[in-house]
Amino acid sequence: MKKLTDLPSWKKGCEFFQVKYPFLCGAMTWISDARLVTAVDRAGGLGFLAAGNMPPELLKKEIRLLRESGVNYGVNLITIAPLFSQHLRLVTSLQVPVVVFAGSFPRRDEVRQAKEAGARVLCFASTRSIAQRMIQYGADGLILEGSEAGGHIGHVSTLVLIQQVLFEFPHIPVFIAGGIATGKIIAHLFLMGAAGVQMGTVFAVSEESPAHPRFKERYLRANSREAFSTPEYDSTLPVVSVRALKNQGTRDFGRLQLDLLKKMGNREISRIEAQYKVEEYWMGALRKAVVEGDIDTGSLMAGQSVGLIRQIKPVRDIVEDLFTEARIHFQKIMTTLG
């Protein structure tokens, strides 16, 4: 009987990243540090260091820690971050093995710079046309992140993205993210042709996660409905939706939007300045929650899969448990199909 690990899609993901399990730990600002990334590598998966808006010297230090440890890793760059250009120069000079462009879509020359430095490049794709453009730019693989995910998100669900992109581009490795927290769904995703899965929320509460204990405890008490996406009040101030647990911090963000819209109307602030204020808010609020443990006014960015997580475990146990469940469920599917 065929095994999960015999699937061409599984093998494609393993070969692409040279990993035992094609399970990716998505980059989470203030959480995805060298320690967590190292733990994911040693468990057989691949972790992405979150550059966010990290000072270049600190990012350089984190990358050097990973290189000295000899682990397999990647770096996630936020294209809309104020320090993005400096980050891109840094990862190319240090010849980072995998570069993920996130936040928005990279330009062709930015993809070229990363590839010329020897990196494999992953880009997010929220539509079929964007997937085509990223492939034309030279992306080696795509990540489809549905709106069920935590943090900054698009507006299309994982299920729809699978139909729009995964089935349309079988020649390139496509990794699925958003709402994934069990081995059962992982088995089905590989059967559909996914080369791997990316998860964030499940790793945010791991033992190796640097998140504050109060942050992790709040995750364990949460249900999926609490992880809601923030609205955009007016198109004159475009904002990227953020999925997080409802608290005073999300209500404060609503008031911030209204205040910025008023200032824009009075010509006290430009649209670009207002958008920077929005991102500054999220960076600060996220630090409050993750680092300081302020679960009331801080940002508790979480995917809807938070409702499926009820235990803090070591990264190795998380990965092994997901694989075991996926393997067993895959065998049940094969037995049912005869």
In terms of domains, do 75 and 148 share one?
yes
Cα 92-41-140 angle, rounded to 5 deg: 45
Summarize the chain as % helix, strand, coil (round to 5): 50, 15, 35
In terms of domains, do 161 and 187 share one?
yes
In terms of domains, do 151 and 72 share one?
yes
Q: What is the average pLDDT across 22-45?
A: 97
| pLDDT, tens only, 92-130 | 999 999 999 998 899 999 999 999 999 999 999 988 999
Total-model pTM: 0.94
In terms of domains, do 201 and 227 share one?
no
Q: Is residue 218 part of a domain?
A: no
Q: Is residue 217 part of a domain?
A: no
In terms of domains, do 241 and 157 share one?
no
| pLDDT, tens only, 53-91 | 889 999 999 999 999 999 999 999 999 888 999 999 999
In terms of domains, do 190 and 240 share one?
no
Q: What is the average pLDDT across 155-161?
A: 93
In terms of domains, do 85 and 228 share one?
no
Residue 117 phi, psi (nearest 5): -85, 5
In terms of domains, do 247 and 183 share one?
no
In terms of domains, do 39 and 180 share one?
yes
Q: Is residue 190 part of a domain?
A: yes
In terms of domains, do 202 and 147 share one?
yes
Q: How many domains does the chain have?
A: 2
Cα–Cα distance between 229 and 236 in angstroms, integer? Answer: 19
In terms of domains, do 202 and 279 share one?
no
Q: Is residue 216 part of a domain?
A: no
Beta-strand ranges (E) seen in 112-230 are 120-124, 141-145, 151-152, 174-177, 196-199, 227-229
Q: Is residue 179 part of a domain?
A: yes
Burial class (CB in 10 A: 0-12, 13-18, 19+), 213: exposed
User: DSSP string of 74-100?
Assistant: EEEEETTSTTHHHHHHHHHHTT-SEEE
Collapse the DSSP code of 236 into the 3-class scheme (helix H, G, I; strand E, B; otherwise coil) and give the result: coil
Query: CA 237: distance to chain centroid?
Result: 24
Q: Is residue 314 part of a domain?
A: yes
Q: Is residue 258 part of a domain?
A: yes
Q: Is residue 215 part of a domain?
A: no
Tokens of 238: 């475009």
Q: Is the pLDDT of residue 154 over 90?
A: no
Q: What is the average pLDDT across 165-187?
A: 96
What domain range includes position 100? 4-210+308-337
What are the C-alpha distances in Å from 242 to residues 151, 250, 321?
5, 9, 29
| pLDDT, tens only, 238-281 | 888 889 999 999 999 999 999 999 999 999 999 988 888 888 88
For residue 62, the domain's CATH number is: 3.20.20.70
Which pLDDT band holds residue 335 (cuts at 50, 70, 90)?
very high
In terms of domains, do 55 and 141 share one?
yes
- pLDDT exceeding 70 applies to what percent of the chain? 100
